[in-house]
Amino acid sequence: MKSKHSLFQSWGVFFLVLFALSAPAQGPSIPKPPETPKHPVTDEYQGVKVTDDYRWLENWDDPAVKQWSAAQNARTREYLDQLPARAAIKKRIQELVAASSTAYWDLGFRGGTLFAMKYQPPQQQPMLVAMRSADDPASANVIFDPNTASGKGSLSIEFYTPSLDGKYVAVAMSEGGSEDCSAHIFETATGKELSDLVPRVNFATAGGSIDWKIDNSGFYYTRYPQGNERPPEDANFYQQVYFHKLGDDPKQDAYVIGKDFPRIAEIKLHSSEDGRWLLAAVANGDGGEYEHFVMDSSGQWTQIAHFEDGIVSAKFGRDEEFIYLLSRKNAPRGQILRLPLAHLALANANVVVPQSPGSGSDESTRASIENFEPAPGHLYIVDIIGGPSRVRVFDGEGHALPSPQLPPISAIGQVVSMGGGDALFYTSTYLDPPAWYRFEAGSGKSVRTALYQTSPVKFDDAEVVREFAVSKDGTRVPLNIIKLKSAKLDGSNPALLDGYGGYGISLKPFFVGSQTRIWLDQGGISATANLRGGGEYGEEWHKAGNLTHKQNVFDDFIACAQFLVDHKYTSPAHRAIIGGSNGGLLMGAAFTQRPDLFRAVVSFVGIYDMLRVELDPNGAFNVTEFGTVKNAEQFKALYAYSPYHHVKDGTAYPAVLFLTGENDHRVNPMQSRKMTARLQAATSSDRPILLRTSSNAGHGIGTALDEEIEQGADFFSFLFDQLGINYKPGEK
């Protein structure tokens, strides 16, 4: 649901998938849904009485709810397992995954060692490795491999942090996609695990973070309440910072900071390279507000930014004299400030990289600073321009230097300072496998490293077209369309549209080649919409789609769907939509507001009851993004679009496949249960409303490969059946 979790960047949700239509196939018979009794409960919000017939489905401890869920699963399996294309699709996915190359991501460089998450298909989970350089992956040694530690494939690494000299690495890991992590400590050189085990350093609500003391005596970490320190309802709130000394009992760990932070604080920690400074960035839930604190070597804390100051990111300069700040105060597209560490008051900061002008016909003038990375003598700036990225390079005082050249319609995922001013950056496009490049600061050249991916499929017959739809209020909304060059725009192409639109998260070009190729081989169209609520054009774009402006997100999506029809890419009878989490909310709002526009819907781990979501632990963190029913204006906006409350009896709804996981601590699975029940009771069409609940998955992070493949085979075959596609494996 939010940036702190980086969800759905794997192939499982934001598929850029394409379809081909043939004569409608005769689908299998669909069993009737299980009986779902109504037990009305009426609440009053801001003077408005609202009745909920399926409140009882919220209680997972009720045996009747588990029995109902099992019956729904059995019905879904009975339908999906007899679909004629499912076995062939699953086999094709397995073949393409197995033939894909090794992938590296989440790189870190400390103590002259390059750390990385490495995924080697067809393993269930990625592993943590260390190597000499990005040009020598053969030198990599495995620090920790979840695949050998757990035969079930359910153990996963959430995040890792090396010590400042690279000797040790702290690894946060969890089971079954729960995101409930303990910290384990390993020696980098040997992979030997130390005896230290620090519980609950990460959870799905506020995330988690770790960084080290310079002498390797221990590390600072985010700590959730332990034992009876807080009542049960506060167990996943009030995150604070503690220090763990290696070898000590974690029960003896020392409090550092956080008692005065908000209940919904989300803390990220980062040490300066020389270990003299520790930065604590504190988010006020998920709405994009941050405050920042810096601790010196004596343990003294200084607050350098408050929530109202608009500082959204801070990083230590590599010269150890300055801290650099990304500010959106009176600069919604971002500007970079430089603050002397010797004078830690925001008034002493000066602008070194101003925001883009934001005017003119050239889209690049609307570039927003998305991220930045200080390097010795250099400052790397990653801009986002409506979805695609660019990289600019400056010296520490903001003078422009030669910058890397990127492919058109591409994205930058991460920039890593490598010392001497050089940096590694990760780039991806819709049609080219990702690769890590090294930017040589001295020569201004970009060189592809040995950390690049290859794909068993090619896309020389395909193209990406960047269009703009016009939303209800006249806003131009970017739309990225992948199609075969030979595709005829006659309205008959099946197409899949996806989007997100929330938390300032941007949908950037991302390669999901094997899955895209499966659908290109059938001749279809896919599209990704860059909706308001995201960060594609900066904070103004985000704010135009959150809180009481959330309806703009749905209007943008509907406008993109209509654009595809008006320009003959597809038609409503040939179109499906897909999204997850906040994108699942998007799915629910889209098909309840315009059921006539869509033939089929796939919605992962979505939010549908906007009046009850804030009662869940993670829902409380979303209040700064969505709003609360306790505020009259925000309640009015929430109730006006809440998908669950806008299902209308007797409406012909599209076919819908809801997917959720029992271990999801971000979006309560009850959201999918209630929405399924309400739709099954209301729809007048004969199209199936299906619920698929996985017992060994959560919100998506940490899901084992086998489960991802099963999910893919399920929703692909579902869409094939509903769109009348006769699947034929391709060879390209």
* Domain containing residue 211: CATH number: 2.130.10.120
- Exposure string over 666-700, b if 16+ CB within 10 A, otherwise e: bbbbbbbbbbbbbbbeebeeebbbbbbbbebbbbb
Distances (CA, A) of 519 to 453, 482, 495, 529: 21, 11, 10, 19
596 in the same domain as 711: yes
Q: Is 346 exposed, middle or buried (0-12, 13-18, 19+ CB in 10 A)?
A: middle
185 belongs to a structural domain: yes
The DSSP code sequence of 311-322 is EEEEEE-TTSSE
List of E strands, 68-167: 103-110, 113-119, 127-131, 141-144, 155-162
Assess whether 46 and 168 both reside in one domain.
no
Please indicate, yes or no, if residue 732 is contained in any of the structural domains: no
The model's pTM: 0.94
For 482-524, the DSSP string reads: EEETT---SS---EEEE---BTTB-------HHHHHHHHTTT-
Kindly tell me if the per-residue pLDDT of 482 is higher than 50: yes
**Owner of token pair 């400390």:** 110
Q: Do 45 and 127 reside in the same domain of the chain?
A: no
**31: how many CB neighbours lie within 10 A of its CB?**
13
Angstrom distance (rounded) from CA 590 to CA 94: 32
In a domain, residue 310? The reply is: no
Dist CA 660 CA 606 (whole Å): 8
**Is 29 in the same domain as 165?**
no
Helical axes 513-520 vs 86-99, angle rounded to 10°: 140
């819908």: which residue's tokens? 656
CA distance linking residue 38 with residue 571, whole number of Å: 37
Q: Determine the average pLDDT of the residues in 196-206.
A: 97
How does strand 495-498 pair with strand 462-470?
A: unpaired
Size (the chain), residues: 732
b/e map 134-153, b = 16+ CB within 10 Å: bbebeebeebbbbbeebeeb
Please report which helix (H) or strand (E) contains residue 222, including its range. Answer: strand 218-223
Q: CATH number for the domain including 12?
A: 3.40.50.1820
Residues tagged active-site:
581, 699
Residues 91, 206, single domain; the answer is: no
* Domain count across the chain: 2
In this model, does residue 282 exceed pLDDT 70?
Answer: yes
pLDDT, residue 25, reads 37
Q: Which of 229, 247, 271 is the last residue of a domain?
A: 271
Answer whether residue 493 is part of any domain.
Answer: yes
Confidence of residue 28 (pLDDT cuts 50, 70, 90): low
Are residues 108 and 83 part of one domain? no
The radius of gyration computed from the CA coordinates of the chain, to the nearest angstrom, equals 25
Range of the domain at 507: 3-96+457-723
Examine the domain organization and report whether 526 and 660 are in the same domain. yes
User: Is 713 a domain residue?
Assistant: yes
Looking at 221, 252, 271, the residue that finishes a domain is 271
Looking at the structure, do residues 116 and 75 belong to the same domain, yes or no?
Answer: no
Same domain, 583 and 534: yes
Measured in whole angstroms, the distance separating CA 211 from the mean position of its chain's CA atoms is 23
Q: Which two tokens stand for residue 337?
A: 């400030």
- Check whether 519 has a pLDDT greater than 90: no
> Quick one: 507 and 563 in the same domain?
yes
Q: What is the mean pLDDT of residues 590-594?
A: 98
Q: Is the pLDDT of residue 2 over 90?
A: no
pLDDT tens digits for range 601-658 = 999 999 999 999 999 999 999 999 999 999 999 999 999 999 999 999 999 999 999 9
Same domain, 107 and 54: no
In the chain, the percentage of residues whose pLDDT exceeds 90 is 88
Question: Same structural domain for residues 118 and 27?
Answer: no
Domain assignment present for residue 372? The answer is no
Which class for 532: exposed (0-12), middle (13-18), buried (19 or more C-beta within 10 A)? buried
Q: How far is CA 487 from CA 19, 490, 522, 573, 730, in A?
A: 11, 9, 11, 18, 16
Condensed to tens digits (0 to 9), the pLDDT of residues 555-577 reads 999 999 999 999 999 999 999 99
For 35, residues 6+ apart whose C-beta sits below 8 A from its C-beta are none
Please identify, among 248, 271, 294, the residue that sits at the C-terminal boundary of a domain.
Answer: 271
pLDDT at residue 496, rounded to an integer: 93
